[in-house]
Chain A
Amino acid sequence: MDFSFSSDQQLLKNSARAFLDEHCKPATVRLLWDDPRGESDTMWKEMAQLGWHGLALPEAYGGSGLGMVESAILLEELGRASYPGPYWPTVLAAAAVEAAGNDAQKKRWLSAIATGDARATLALLDADLDWDPAAMTTRAEKSAKGWTLSGTKRFVPWAHVANVLLIPARAPEGPSLFLVDPAAAGLKLSPVQGMDLATRWVHLDMDKVPVAPEALLGTPGQAAPLLSSLVRRGAIGAAAEMLGAARRCLDMAVGYAKVREQFGQPIGSFQAIRHKCSEMLLEVENSHSAVYYAAWALDAKAEDHELAASVAKAYVGDASRKVCGEAIQVHGGIGFTWEYDLHIYFKRAKALESMYGDVDYHREQIVRRAAR
């Protein structure tokens, strides 16, 4: 039993922290707010050179063959920096290709993703906003040249910069998954902007989008288990990012409480503030336990790994909202200003809260597993 990071894992964490402290400062994030793409290609390439994109990919495709624990370590640091860009959507899409793709599909996409030459994303949310893949309404119909896809996908992260879109659709055989060219005919991309200006979403409207036969990922009708596992993997990753955002907010709040003086003393000496900070630390530490337990359980194929993913997303969703919000409260007025950096992390945590299943969705998954 060892809940601590190995020395390699600690090294990864330290190097990620060092890189992001230098290359993904709050000022960097702010600059990209107004950028039409919303991400930096230079940073993307540097991250690829550090081996981050291929972290969990097989060595045959230029990856390092590491697991979800290492991904979570990286994602926590990315969340702590409020990194703007398609890192997690791309890595998650790569996991889908690795799990279900044939050799040609893997060769085409995995190596390109590992080198930083390709970006990808996964359209998990349908028009009716249900994260259960069984509920999908997008349809795939057979055509003379393969398939055509029709329907709507909502809040697809970073689709506007992706080289390939992974789109689940219901074929006559059942839930299926397709690799779709973002420039395909009949596919309309509409950017959506939430309050976190560093999170970019796109709505996809598909009207008989033609898809070649070789763009089918896996067996037609058999994609539901894979899609469920991608929601869970996505949820653990999002929880790790939210944990990073929360820890950043906690650090900022504690730092501020030590130096900000009112009534002739640092506000951190008042129990009203100190107790708030202690509660925030409790939530952050519990979130750490939840994220890394779930990540380990996924890697180890532990019998409770599905439950653990939902526990992590449900718990950290609540916890990060509370911690980031209370950090604003500890700061007082300054924390409410645009110039102060707190809202960068506050909004990031909030943007991730609804992704890969919100708190309600995961609580329902938990009850289904725990209350049999």
Chain B
Amino acid sequence: MDLNYSPEDREFRATTRRWLEANVPTQDLKTLDERKGWHRKLYEAGYVGMLWPKEYGGWGATPMQQAIVQDEMARVSAPPAINGLGIGFIGPTIIVHGTEAQKQRYLKKMLTAEEIWCQLYSEPNAGSDLASLKTRAEDQGDHFVVNGQKIWTSSGPISDWGILLARTDVKVAKHKGISCVLLSMRQPGVEVRPLKQITGSSLFSEVFMTNARADKSDLIGDINQGWAIAQTTLGFERGGNALGRVTRYVTAFNQLVKATKELKRGGRPLIEDPSVRARMGRIYADLEVQRYAALRVLSALQKGDTPGAASSITKLSYTEFEKRYYELALEILGPFGQLMVAREEFEEVDTSSGEPGTFATAFLWSRAGTIYSGSSEIQKNIIGERVLGLPKEVRADRLKA
């Protein structure tokens, strides 16, 4: 056991910090062009596509270096790169399963944010049971005709391309008739409608496909192999955000401390109230444990271990923690916790979505984490079956198949 950062990692952190201090935008990025400009700057500095192989425009960096960059970005509340899903999941999927022509056509423009990508997986009736998806892709020789509806699509309105899971064979078991294909979002048959979330903002969309066209040359892997390809996407989670996430929690905790010093109840600051202190102690203990766990994940990645199903433990841990965290913060802040606009008592905090806001915004966003990318219930199924080796459940759809 040695939890010291290596001299190389410390030097890398110092370099990153200096670069960010010199380059982080001083004003909010308002337009898409400004956001793309910041993304390109990050890319050229070597901070986007860090884990991608160099031959496809990546930087061949280590998971620890990537985590350090995200950590330093969180420390200064730097705006995130714009093409997160593309670079985190879709690009790596193309690298593993795509043809050489697909790699040449798509990867570089994804890295530079010349083309923005989204994921077209979930459907209104296919959430946790993703394999029951209904969107059809009909084989028309050199192309597919796509009809159906997707939902919870991040970056929908600004996306140029999407990675689509669609049914290409209705006669076989549900997992066996799904294909993975790249779909242009810039065509008449694709309509994007933003969804308004409980936060009041719109980071997700619905996507309607009516006789949309996807070229056969954009099929990823073989026909009807889409389910297996989608499963490998899960394996691309490389702990990149592990440290940055905790740093955001700490920044918010410091705002909570500030607020409890300035807000008074019964004539004394909240922070002097033993019940408030007990709750804050609980939050901070929990928060530190998330940090230790993040170091443990990064240490395993450094040694070349693949977390596999164990990454479900990480996701379950921090998303459930985040709900407890902001629930306690709002309990402590009382009616001030309700406010959606920052005040002098507490400044803005970064929410899990990357959207800045108040504790109320972060509280609302904390409800999303335990639903997206596999709900807590799905994570517990995975942990139970694949880590603990508990017997598979009897499921109605398995009985039929």
Contacts of A271 in B (CB 8 A): 377, 380-381, 393
Question: What's the Cα separation between A265 and B391 when bound, in Å?
Answer: 9
Contact A371 B257 (CB under 8 A): yes
Give chain B residues whose Cβ lies under 8 Å from the Cβ of A293.
3, 292, 295
Measured between beta carbons, the chain A residues less than 8 angstroms from B384 are 268, 274-275, 277-278
Identify B380's interface contact among A274, A364, A370, CB under 8 A: A274
- Interface flag for B387 (CB, 8 Å): yes
CB neighbors of B among A317-372 (8 A): 360, 362-367, 370-372
Interface SS majority for chain A:
helix
Chain A, Cβ-Cβ closest to B301:
A1
Q: How far is the CB of A236 from chain B (nearest CB, A)?
A: 13
Bound-state CA distance A289–B393 (Å) is: 30
Partner pick for B313 among A6, A265, A282, A364, CB 8 A cutoff:
A282
B316 adjacent to chain A (CB < 8 Å): yes
The reply on B372 being an interface residue by CB < 8 A is no
Measured between alpha carbons, how far is A1 from B10 in the docked complex, in Å?
11
Q: Does A254 contact B (CB under 8 A)?
A: yes
A190 within 8 A of B: no
Given A282-B313, A289-B296, A315-B289, the answer on whether A275 and B282 have CB atoms closer than 8 Å is no
Q: Which of B3, B5, B281 contacts A314 (CB 8 A)?
A: B281
A363 to B384 CA separation, bound complex (whole angstroms): 31
Of all chain B residues, the one with the shortest Cβ separation from A279 is: B380
Is B389 interfacial (CB-CB < 8 Å)?
yes
Residues 88-108 of B, flagged 1 when their CB comes within 8 A of A and 0 if not, give 000000000000000000000
Given contact pairs A314-B281, A370-B253, A278 touches B292 in the complex (Cβ within 8 A)? no
Q: Does B285 contact A (CB under 8 A)?
A: yes
Asked if A307 is at the interface (CB within 8 A of a chain B CB), the reply is yes
The residue from B271, B281, B377, B390 contacting A269, defined by CB atoms under 8 A apart: B390
For A314, the chain B residues whose CB sits under 8 A away are 281-282, 285
Residues of B with C-beta under 8 A to A254 = 388-390
Bound together, the chains give a CA A275 to CA B5 distance in angstroms of 35
Tell whether B392 is near chain A: CB-to-CB under 8 Å. Answer: yes
**B288 near A311: Cβ-Cβ < 8 Å:** yes
Cα-based distance from A16 to B292 in the complex (angstroms):
25
Cβ-defined contact, B3 with A3, below 8 A: yes
Q: Would you call B298 an interface residue if the criterion is a C-beta within 8 Å of the partner chain's C-beta atoms?
A: yes
Alpha-carbon distance A273/B381, docked complex (angstroms) = 10
Asked if residues A362 and B281 are in contact (CB atoms below 8 Å), the reply is yes
Question: Do residues B389 and A278 form an inter-chain contact, with CB atoms below 8 A?
Answer: no
Q: Hey, which chain A residues are within 8 Å of B345, CB to CB?
A: none
Cα distance, A5 to B1, chains bound together (Å): 5
User: Chain B contacts of A1 at CB under 8 A?
Assistant: 2-6, 9, 64, 295, 298-299, 302
Contact across chains for B313 and A269 when beta carbons are under 8 A apart: no
Q: Residue B70 at the A interface, CB < 8 A? A: no
Enumerate A249-269 residues with CB–CB distance to B below 8 Å: 254, 257-258, 265-266, 268-269
Q: How far is the CA of A209 from the CA of B303 in the complex (A)?
A: 57
Q: Is B330 an interface residue (CB 8 A)?
A: no
Instruction: State A130–B76 Cα separation when bound (angstroms).
Output: 41
B317 at the interface (CB under 8 A from A): yes
Of A5, A266, A286, A370, the contact of B289 (CB 8 Å cutoff): A286
A315 close to B1 (CB less than 8 A): no
- Chain A proximity of B143: nearest CB distance (Å): 42
Complex interface bits, B206-224 against A, C-beta within 8 A gives 1, otherwise 0: 0000000000000000000
User: Closest CB of chain B to A5's CB: distance in Å?
Assistant: 6
Q: Which B residues lie within 8 Å of A178 (CB)?
A: none
Q: Does the CB pair B393–A274 fall under 8 Å?
A: yes
Cβ of B203 < 8 Å from any Cβ of A?
A: no
A22 within 8 A of B: no
Bound-state CA distance A6–B36 (Å) is: 45
Closest chain-A Cβ to B316's Cβ sits at a distance in Å of 6
Q: Does B383 contact A (CB under 8 A)?
A: yes
Which residues on the A side are within 8 Å of B205 (C-beta)? none
- When the two chains form their complex, are residues A371 and B271 in contact, meaning their CB atoms are under 8 A apart? yes
Asked whether A171 is an interface residue with its Cβ less than 8 Å from the other chain, the reply is no
User: Which residues of chain A in 4-37 are interfacial with respect to chain B, using CB atoms and an 8 Å cutoff?
Assistant: 4-6, 9
A111 close to B (CB within 8 Å):
no
Cβ of B32 < 8 Å from any Cβ of A?
no
Contact of A289 among B257, B292, B381, B392 (CB under 8 A): B292
Is residue B29 within 8 Å, beta carbon to beta carbon, of the partner chain? no
Whether B278 sits at the interface, judged by CB under 8 Å, is yes
A296-310 interface (Cβ within 8 A of B): 296-297, 300, 302, 307-308, 310
The verdict on B394 contacting chain A, using a C-beta distance below 8 Å, is yes
Question: Given the complex, which residues of A lie within 8 Å of B380, measured CB to CB?
Answer: 271, 274-275, 278-279
Chain A residues with Cβ under 8 A from B394's Cβ? 265, 269
Q: Which residues of B357-401 are within 8 A (CB) of A?
A: 377, 379-381, 383-385, 387-394
Nearest chain A CB to B332 CB, angstrom units: 11
Contact bitstring B252-279, A, C-beta under 8 A = 1, else 0:
0100010010000000000100000110
Which residues on A sit within 8 Å (CB–CB) of B281?
314, 362-367, 370
Per the bound structure, the CA–CA distance linking A257 and B390 in Å amounts to 7
Q: Which residues of B lie under 8 Å from residue A364 when comparing CB positions?
A: 277-278, 281
- Asked whether, in the complex, the Cβ of A367 is within 8 Å of the Cβ of B296, the reply is no
CA distance A289 to B286 in the complex (A): 11
CB of A2 closer than 8 Å to a CB of B: yes
Q: From the candidates B5, B284, B299, name the one contacting A3 in the complex (CB within 8 A).
A: B299
Q: Is B300 among interface residues, defined by CB-CB distance under 8 A?
A: yes
Closest residue of B by beta carbon distance from A308: B288
Closest A residue to B260 using CB positions: A371
Interface-central residue, A4, A314, A315, A367, by most chain B CB under 10 Å: A367
Does B285 contact A315, Cβ atoms closer than 8 Å?
yes
Q: Chain A, 53-87, contact with B by CB distance < 8 Å: what is the 0/1 string?
A: 00000000000000001000000000000000000
Query: Which B residues are in CB contact (< 8 Å) with A278?
Result: 316, 379-381, 383-384, 387-388
- Which residues of chain A have C-beta atoms less than 8 A from B383's C-beta? 278, 281-282
Q: A296 and B3 in contact (CB under 8 A), knowing A2-B303, A285-B313, A363-B278?
A: yes
* A273 contacts across to B, CB distance below 8 A: 390
- The reply on B158 being an interface residue by CB < 8 A is no
Contact residue among A9, A315, A367 (Cβ-Cβ distance under 8 Å from B280): A367
* Besides A274-B388, A285-B313, A371-B284, 20 new A-B residue pairs in contact (Cβ under 8 A), listed by A number: A1-B64, A1-B295, A1-B299, A5-B1, A254-B388, A268-B390, A271-B380, A278-B380, A281-B388, A282-B313, A290-B289, A290-B292, A296-B2, A296-B3, A300-B3, A308-B292, A315-B289, A362-B281, A370-B257, A371-B280
What are 5 A-B pairs at a CB distance below 8 A? A265-B391, A278-B384, A311-B285, A363-B285, A371-B257
6 residue pairs, one from A and one from B, having the closest CB atoms: A363-B281, A274-B384, A268-B390, A3-B299, A278-B383, A278-B380
Give the interface of A toward B (CB within 8 A): 1-6, 9, 69, 254, 257-258, 265-266, 268-271, 273-275, 277-279, 281-282, 285-286, 289-290, 292-293, 296-297, 300, 302, 307-308, 310-311, 314-315, 360, 362-367, 370-372
